[in-house]
Amino acid sequence: MVITEKKQVLLEIVEDADEKLTGLLIALANEYNTTNQKYSSEEIQEFYEIRDAMLANPETGYSPKEAHNLIRNKK
C-alpha cells in the first residue's frame, strides 16, 4: 500500500471515529510529533553559524540528491 492509499484509509478511519478513538489518535499524533531534544545555547549558535556559512557560500553545500546519497550510503 502506497502512502496516498494509507492516508486515504486513515482519513476514513478518522471520519468514522468515535470520541475515544479520536482522543487516542490525537494523543498518538502529539506523542509522535513531540521531540524531547533540548539544545544548549552554544549548540543553537553553532547551527546558526553553519546556516550563515552555507548561505554565504552555497557552492560548498550538497544538492538534496547528493545529501540523500551520502546519508543512505554511509557505512
Q: Read off the pLDDT band of 69 (50, 70, 90).
A: confident
Question: What pLDDT score does 75 carry?
Answer: 55
Helix H or strand E encompassing 71: helix 64-72
State the Cα–Cα distance between residues 61 and 27, nearest whole angstrom: 38
State the Cα–Cα distance between residues 24 and 32, nearest whole angstrom: 12
State the Cα–Cα distance between residues 18 and 48, nearest whole angstrom: 45
Other CB atoms within a 10 A radius of the CB of residue 39 amount to 10
**pTM for this entry:** 0.43
Cβ–Cβ under 8 Å, residues 61 and 54: yes
